[in-house]
Amino acid sequence: MTDKTVILKHISAKDLGHLAMPDFCPRCFWIKSRLGSKRPWSSFPSIFTHIDVYSKEINKSHLKSKGHNFPWLSPFGQLTNPIPCPHWSKFSFTDPNTGVALRGTPDEMFRLPDNTLAILDNKTAKFTEHEDELLPLYKIQLGAYSWLAKKLNYGDVSVTGLIYYEPDTKEPSVDKVTDTGFSMSFTAHILPIQTDLQQVENLLVEAQKIAQSTEPPNGILKCKDCSIIEQIINMLKVSV
How is 53-77 classified by DSSP, letter by letter? HHHHHHHHHHHHHHSS--GGGGGG-
Indicate the pLDDT class of residue 95, thresholds 50, 70 and 90. Answer: very high
At 208-218, the pLDDT tens digits run 999 999 898 99
- At the topology level, CATH places domain 10-239 in Lambda Exonuclease; Chain A (3.90.320)
How much is the pTM? 0.87
Domain positions in the chain are 10-239
Q: Are strands 157-167 and 108-111 parallel, antiparallel or unpaired?
A: unpaired
Q: pLDDT at position 151, please? A: 97
At 155-206, the pLDDT tens digits run 999 999 999 998 888 777 778 888 898 888 888 999 999 999 999 999 999 9
Q: How many CA atoms lie within 13 A of 134 on its CB side?
A: 13
Q: pLDDT at position 1, please? A: 36
